Amino acid sequence: MHCDIYKFPKHEEMYVYIARPGYPDDAETLTDWLGVLPKELRSSLGVGQFLMHLDLASTPKLARVDKEEVIEKLASQGYFVQAPPQDILVRQANNRVKAEQDKRYD
């Protein structure tokens, strides 16, 4: 199974895998691949930046996620969201709280 991986500058260490079932035949077609994402998710992510194309069949394992889970989600819903590690989520939440507090006292 082939997929494209995108990152989102608003969300550190968050990656979205998008299924490319017709690859390589669809490689020349200009398509909004992120269109498979639910509208609410897509709007919360912001603008995506293409990182790489990946052939999961020839990839032995993935760094932070289970390869079989990724393949299952790509087959069933067309995308997979790789959330950031817990320490990064905590840091992001703390930064948002601090920013809100700073705004309140400016």
pLDDT digits (tens, 9 = 90+) for 48-98: 899 999 999 998 988 888 999 999 999 999 999 998 777 766 776 777 788
Going through 9-71 in order, the beta strands assigned E by DSSP cover: 11-19, 49-55
Q: Is 97 helix (H, G, I), strand (E, B) or coil?
A: helix
- pLDDT tens figures, 34-61: 888 999 988 888 888 999 999 999 989 8
Q: Cα 64 vs. chain centroid, distance in angstroms?
A: 13
pTM of the model: 0.76
The helix (H) or strand (E) run that includes residue 8 is: strand 2-8
- CB within 8 Å of 26: residues ≥ 6 apart: 20
- CB within 8 Å of 55: residues ≥ 6 apart: 1, 2
For residue 30, is pLDDT > 70?
A: no
CATH number of 2-104: 3.10.510.20
CA–CA gap between residue 57 and residue 94 (Å, rounded): 39
